[in-house]
Structure 1
Amino acid sequence: MLIIEDQPELRSFIVQNLGSQYRYEEASNGTDGIRLAKELLPDLIISDVMMPDTDGLELCETLKNNIATSHIPIMLLTAKAEQKDKLIGLETGADDYLTKPFSLQELKLRVKNILAFKALLRKKFNGNNLPTAEETPELNSRDRKFVDDVTVMVETNISNPQFSVNTLAEGIFLSVSQLTRKLKTITGKTPADYIRNIRLEKACALLKNGGSVADVAWAVGFEDAVYFSKVFKKHFGFSPSSIKNK
């Protein structure tokens, strides 16, 4: 997690009480926080609102509007307790809002809940079929579009055996490391796994429609039918040649 707080004492308090459970990095201002968030892509950001230079609201808005960082949950800390101030924070895309002074127990529970919420989202992608937007309301619109764009790009290039993680990253305008981190955080799958799953699901559908193993292998980007059969059986638990009997 990334902890962004300009008050050294409070930042130290948060680090000392959460650092034993989670890996962490620190920033003393919003500008450094944005830089580190883009560089590290943490699982969670805890940021103060009132900071010199770039404040927490600007930081939140910047990161939530960046495709590489929009998936990162952000908890804002503030001394402002009025409802309108909380609404402003939530409107910038903040995932949670904690008013100072706060109890250590509440902070720990909120952190635990946010991370558990993200874990539940990844479980929805555990199956072979991509969950719909209705099934994943917790995904913000930018991240839903990201998942949809990745899926469409893979499906469009499904028969191209040269289509790779590098090609996908270029098409999404992210580095390979950014793509890997973001996709795995949202879906629990690496880009290579995601590409393979889509190819195999398409292969299963084509086989059910009567396609031969060799033709289907080529149609979904496998140049070697033997290797395709091996990967297919590992994924589904039965060979592609037996699909017609399923």
Structure 2
Amino acid sequence: MDGTIEAESAPGEGSTFTLTIPVSHGNGRWKPLSDEDEPTADAMQTMPADAAPQLRDAGEEGGKAAKVLVVEDNADVAHYIGRQVNHIYKVYYATNGDEGLEKARRILPDIVLTDIMMPGIDGLELCRRIRASELTNHIPIIAITAKTSQDDREEGLRAGANAYLHKPFSRNELLIQIDQMLAMRRVLTEKTEQARHAGGSEKPALSDADREFVSRLTDVVHEQMKLCSFEVNTIASKLCMSRSTLSRRLLSATGDSVTGYTAKVRIAHACKLLRQHPDWTTNEVSLQCGFEDPSYFSRVFKQIEGISPSQYRKNAV
């Protein structure tokens, strides 16, 4: 085609490839472009909207598919990654580290895939900020980069990345990495739920960040028992979070809603009191756990434990 390919490359910075193909039409050729017609340096920024990949965030409606946040300033690469996983997961996009951090805080994705070299906040700084925030520090991160030296890899891991993928990466490797990390999160959630249903004798296998968050929340719930007040907004305020942030954070860590988790903590405390104080009446126990209505306490207790408080006490003796 009488074209040319040129390359400019600098170690650690990246490469630029320029492909030049003469414009032809039918059996002839167009006249050479004049200086006035020559494309400008910002041609990519002014190109028609439909000429570049359309990166649309997944909707929030329906289903329980895991949420994957792709942080990549190259639209083609981001589109490629999205195509590999959007039939399995809900995919969200961010074109730089600043937008990625904002979306990570807003949607609390189940996993973040981020490029390292980006304008503004780069991938390493994004990892550090995600790890520094109590709201997001539980989210697994896969760093995708062309920087392949051992030093680069170690720097990424120190910044908080859980895994590394080198460009060009294998589609299968990408899917395996995502699937394994999400599987680990599911296992932790299942163990937490099993331990809680077993009566709380086994400590949930949570990450350090999740354990600290759940511990603080549990302390707040115990404080509120004395006041018989379990307004979600109040609990969120005591944790310095908004109501929606608390709900997303708790759901991500334990799979529970705030109301559901609060009820489990109160009933777990009731079980402890029923075992330790056989002389207390059911009404006294219910008040100690923040239930002013004994009938409501019995209903909630049976929903969670499967038996009434009286039956539980008999079995515990």
The answer, yes or no, to whether TM exceeds 0.5 is yes
The CA deviation at 1:156 is 2.5
Contact 1:4/1:26 (<8 A) preserved: yes
What is the aligned partner in structure 2 of residue 139 from structure 1? Answer: 207
What is the aligned partner in structure 1 of residue 288 from structure 2? Answer: 219
Contact 1:160/1:220 (<8 A) preserved: no
5+ unaligned residues in a row in structure 1: which ranges? none
> Which letter maps to 1:189?
D
What is the aligned partner in structure 1 of residue 136 from structure 2? Answer: 69
Per the normalisation by structure 2, the TM-score is: 0.73
2:105 corresponds to 1:38: yes
2:228 corresponds to 1:161: yes
Which one has a larger percent helix, Structure 1 or Structure 2?
1
The CA deviation at 1:41 is 1.4
Quick one: higher RCO (CA 8 Å, sep 6+), 1 or 2?
A: 1
2:246 corresponds to 1:179: yes
For 1:202-217, list aligned pairs within 5 A.
202-208=269-275, 209-210=277-278, 211-217=280-286
> Which letter maps to 1:139?
S
2:75 corresponds to 1:8: yes
Per the normalisation by structure 1, the TM-score is: 0.93
5+ unaligned residues in a row in structure 2: which ranges? 1-67
Which one has a larger percent strand, Structure 1 or Structure 2?
2
Contact 1:124/1:131 (<8 A) preserved: no
The CA deviation at 1:37 is 1.4
What is the aligned partner in structure 1 of residue 310 from structure 2? Answer: 241
Q: How many residues align?
A: 242
What is the aligned partner in structure 1 of residue 299 from structure 2? Answer: 230
> CA separation in 2, counterparts of 1:243 and 1:115?
37
> CA separation in 1, counterparts of 2:295 and 2:108?
39
> CA separation in 2, counterparts of 1:117 and 1:200?
28
> CA separation in 2, counterparts of 1:54 and 1:66?
16
The CA deviation at 1:130 is 7.4
The farther-off stretch of 42-51 and 158-167 is 158-167
Q: 1:130 to 1:106 in 2, by over 3 A?
A: farther
What is the aligned partner in structure 1 of residue 168 from structure 2? Answer: 101
> CA separation in 2, counterparts of 1:222 and 1:204?
14
Tell me the SS of whatever aligns to 2:160: coil
> Which letter maps to 1:11?
A
> CA separation in 2, counterparts of 1:190 and 1:93?
28
Tell me the SS of whatever aligns to 1:37: helix
The farther-off stretch of 106-115 and 72-81 is 72-81
The CA deviation at 1:67 is 1.5
The farther-off stretch of 222-231 and 81-90 is 81-90
What is the aligned partner in structure 1 of residue 96 from structure 2? Answer: 29
% of aligned pairs identical? 36
What is the aligned partner in structure 1 of residue 217 from structure 2? Answer: 150
Q: 1:131 to 1:187 in 2, by over 3 A?
A: farther
> CA separation in 2, counterparts of 1:37 and 1:243?
43
Structure 1 segments (4+ residues) deviating >6 Å:
none
For 1:48-87, list aligned pairs within 5 A.
48-87=115-154
Contact 1:71/1:182 (<8 A) preserved: no
The CA deviation at 1:131 is 5.1
> CA separation in 2, counterparts of 1:110 and 1:6?
21
> CA separation in 2, counterparts of 1:143 and 1:65?
13
